[in-house]
């Protein structure tokens, strides 16, 4: 018999407000408008809560989202939700037994109820609430009517009738904490009478939602703080974390993870070509791990360039038309860097520019397992120095950042979340990335422009005295800015989107 869908839900009102909170800086422009004095407690069937919040097992086609997404939507860890699914069905420790042990009959006494007494924390959208420039449809609103005293009545959308219900625009419920518990209920299978306790805020602004996620999951140290920035990308831009220690954890840890991936992944142009231990006297010229970490934190993992500069890091600042944080996993971030590096390396291999020919003619014996072009990996190319690495990271980040909307970066997703060191997941992300035609062609054009620069270092043979002197400006801390400036000036001369993007970056930086 089909279970009837509730149209109205009785909820308890919970008031939590202190006079000290009146001093909180409520700021609608920062997505922290003043919240309601109450939140609500009630129960709802898992299937109904999934339908009203849009929690489905997300699938991808060609790496593109099949439905709308937002910075507040987190990634799906299949292993995590499957673990919860098994627990719900069998309890502990039966849920962790192998299939063979379950069938043996020797452990039947280990079956237990899989209770989930911890509340799912949600936000119910109010009329007029916007996400990505689009308001929730009036017919999809969940209305809340005060019943007097300690209760309120929640009225579900009139058209809501089953777990297959779809809204006109946005789902009326956003899940702040508990997404994987909802994912644990399989689609197409009855959840029976399994209800979940719910804590519901009403019209809670998205910055407050990120703050709640942090205080629920990270402050008590339930999950790794670095991982939290993947689970909840919006946290990467919260100013209260900037003043605290949170963002330094994300940036430094993420830069280290990405550096390790660039060194370890076999498809990386820098495979086994990063000095991970800072050793001196190596036979090969290699940029140190510390320099790579500094370069990444100063470029692609940074927040904004400055208070008055609109250029930010692809992995650390809001991007695109809606100014939302890219919800890329660590594996995706690693794949992007590897992919962009491959484009530059491959363009240099084909390069017939005089500077590249000169470096090949003065080729010194290289002892890499897989010998690489001296123009890219030799001892006398800037591309194999701290300054050069930061230069190409700056330019790749800057131009992709200002063209994020046109390149459709916010809609590139992969099926699973994973660490940057997970080779299989990075491989899958690379495979998916190669299907992104707009980004593919853009990076090709960018690489073609970059190889027109004379990448010889001041120590290269065959330089005139004037040319050698001109290259000394790239030394020291001031060399980073000068190389970035010269590369942008060169790329401004390129036709089409590369030239336009370089000009836009130059204007933003005031070069």
Q: What are 309's strand-pairing partners? A: 306
In angstroms, rounded to a whole number, what is the distance separating the alpha carbons of residues 151 and 422?
Answer: 49
pLDDT, tens digit (0-9, with 9 covering 90-100), for 278-292: 777 676 778 998 899
Q: What are 146's strand-pairing partners? A: 152
**What's the full length of the chain, in residues?**
511
Q: Residue 204: its pLDDT value, please?
A: 95
In angstroms, rounded to a whole number, what is the distance separating the alpha carbons of residues 497 and 503?
Answer: 10
Q: Is the pLDDT of residue 225 over 80?
A: no
**Distance of alpha carbon 101 from its chain centroid, rounded?**
39
pLDDT, tens digit (0-9, with 9 covering 90-100), for 71-93: 444 567 777 888 888 899 888 88
- Pairing status of strand 287-288 against strand 274-275: parallel
Lowest mean pLDDT segment, chosen from 52-66, 316-330, 390-404: 52-66
Higher pLDDT pick, 159 / 304: 159
The helix or strand, by DSSP H or E, that contains position 38, with its residue range, turns out to be: strand 38-45
Rg (CA), the chain: 27
Portion of the chain with pLDDT greater than 70, in percent: 82
Task: Give the mean pLDDT of the chain.
Answer: 84
Distant-in-sequence contacts of 297-302, Cβ < 8 A, 24+ apart: 297/251, 297/252, 297/255, 298/390, 298/394, 298/480, 299/390, 299/393, 299/394, 299/397, 300/337, 300/393, 300/396, 300/397, 301/250, 301/251, 301/254, 301/255, 301/258, 302/251
Q: Is the pLDDT of residue 421 over 70?
A: no
Q: Rounded to two decimals, what is the model's pTM?
A: 0.65
Residue with token string 């910055």? 207
Q: Say whether the peptide bond before residue 175 is cis (omega within 30 degrees of 0).
A: no
Q: Residue 200: its pLDDT value, please?
A: 97
Q: Residue 146: its pLDDT value, please?
A: 92
DSSP 28: G
Phi first, then psi: give them for residue 199, nearest 5 degrees. -105, 120
In angstroms, rounded to a whole number, what is the distance separating the alpha carbons of residues 204 and 372?
Answer: 54
22-222-315 Cα angle (round to 5): 80
Q: Residue 326: its pLDDT value, please?
A: 85
In angstroms, rounded to a whole number, what is the distance separating the alpha carbons of residues 158 and 287?
Answer: 62
In angstroms, rounded to a whole number, what is the distance separating the alpha carbons of residues 488 and 486?
Answer: 5
Q: Residue 104: its pLDDT value, please?
A: 87
Number of Cβ within a 10 Å radius of residue 82: 14
Specify which of 57-66, 181-190, 298-307, 437-446 reaches the highest per-range mean pLDDT. Answer: 437-446
Q: Residue 77: its pLDDT value, please?
A: 73
Structure tokens at 223: 């999950």
Higher pLDDT pick, 295 / 318: 295
pLDDT, tens digit (0-9, with 9 covering 90-100), for 440-482: 999 999 999 999 999 999 999 989 999 999 999 998 888 999 9
What are the residues whose beta carbons fall under 8 Å from the beta carbon of 27, sequence distance 6 or more? 33
Return the domain boundaries, the chain.
8-243, 246-315+353-509
Region 268-281 average pLDDT: 85
435-440-444 Cα angle (round to 5): 155
pLDDT, tens digit (0-9, with 9 covering 90-100), for 109-147: 888 899 999 999 999 999 989 887 788 999 999 999 998
Tell me how far CA of residue 472 lies from CA of 393, 430, 460, 479, in angstroms: 20, 37, 12, 8
Number of Cβ within a 10 Å radius of residue 234: 23
Tell me how far CA of residue 217 lies from CA of 226, 243, 267, 353, 510, in angstroms: 12, 19, 35, 54, 41
Higher pLDDT pick, 319 / 160: 160
pLDDT, tens digit (0-9, with 9 covering 90-100), for 176-222: 999 888 888 875 454 567 999 999 999 999 889 988 887 887 665 55
411-417-419 Cα angle (round to 5): 120
Q: Is the pLDDT of residue 1 over 70?
A: no
In angstroms, rounded to a whole number, what is the distance separating the alpha carbons of residues 71 and 325?
Answer: 6
Region 48-71 average pLDDT: 54
Structure tokens at 501: 């993007």
DSSP-based three-state secondary structure for 505: helix
Lowest mean pLDDT segment, chosen from 179-183, 365-369, 395-399: 365-369
């Amino acid at each position: 018999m089909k279970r009837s869908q509730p149209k109205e839900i009785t909820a308890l009102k919970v008031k939590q407000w202190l006079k000290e909170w009146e001093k909180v800086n409520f700021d609608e422009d920062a997505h922290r408008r003043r919240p309601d004095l109450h939140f609500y407690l009630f129960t709802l069937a898992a299937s109904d809560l999934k339908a009203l919040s849009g929690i489905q097992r997300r699938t991808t086609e060609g790496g593109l989202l099949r439905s709308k997404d937002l910075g507040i939507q987190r990634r799906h860890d299949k292993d995590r939700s499957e673990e919860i699914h098994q627990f719900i069905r069998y309890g502990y420790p039966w849920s962790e037994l192998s299939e063979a042990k379950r069938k043996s009959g020797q452990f039947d006494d280990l079956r237990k109820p899989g209770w989930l007494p911890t509340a799912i924390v949600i936000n119910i959208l109010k009329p007029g609430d916007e996400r990505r420039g689009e308001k929730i449809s009036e017919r999809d609103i969940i209305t809340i009517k005060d019943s007097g005293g300690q209760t309120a009545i929640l009225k579900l959308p009139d058209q809501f009738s089953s777990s297959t219900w779809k809204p006109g625009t946005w789902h009326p419920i956003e899940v702040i904490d508990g997404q994987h518990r909802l994912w644990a209920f399989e689609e197409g299978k009855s959840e029976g009478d399994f209800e979940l306790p719910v804590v519901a805020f009403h019209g809670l602004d998205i910055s407050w939602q990120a703050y709640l996620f942090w205080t629920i999951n990270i402050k008590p140290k339930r999950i790794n703080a670095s991982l939290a920035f993947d689970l909840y990308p919006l946290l990467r831009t919260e100013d209260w974390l900037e003043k605290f220690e949170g963002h330094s954890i994300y940036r430094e840890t993420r830069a280290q993870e990405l550096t390790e991936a660039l060194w370890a992944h076999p498809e990386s142009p820098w495979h086994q070509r990063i000095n991970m231990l800072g050793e001196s006297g190596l036979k090969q010229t290699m940029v140190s791990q510390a320099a790579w970490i500094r370069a990444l934190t100063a470029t692609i993992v940074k927040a904004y360039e400055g208070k008055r500069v609109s250029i930010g890091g692809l992995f650390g600042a809001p991007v695109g038309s809606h100014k939302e944080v890219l919800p890329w996993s660590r594996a995706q971030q690693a794949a992007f860097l590897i992919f962009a590096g491959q484009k530059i390396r491959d363009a240099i291999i084909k390069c017939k520019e005089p500077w590249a020919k000169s470096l090949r003619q003065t080729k010194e014996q290289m002892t890499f397992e897989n010998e690489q072009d001296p123009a890219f990996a030799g001892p006398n190319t800037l591309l194999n120095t701290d300054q050069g690495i930061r230069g190409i990271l700056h330019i790749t980040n800057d131009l992709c950042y200002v063209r994020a909307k046109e390149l459709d970066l916010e809609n590139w997703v992969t099926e699973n979340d994973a660490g940057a060191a997970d080779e299989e997941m990075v491989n899958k992300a690379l495979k998916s990335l190669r299907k992104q035609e707009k980004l593919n062609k853009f990076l090709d054009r960018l690489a073609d422009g970059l190889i027109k620069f004379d990448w010889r270092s001041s120590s290269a043979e065959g330089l005139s005295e004037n040319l050698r002197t001109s290259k000394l400006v790239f030394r020291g801390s001031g060399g980073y800015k000068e190389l970035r400036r010269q590369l942008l000036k060169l790329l401004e001369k390129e036709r089409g989107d590369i030239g336009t993007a370089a000009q836009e970056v130059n204007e933003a930086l005031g070069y």
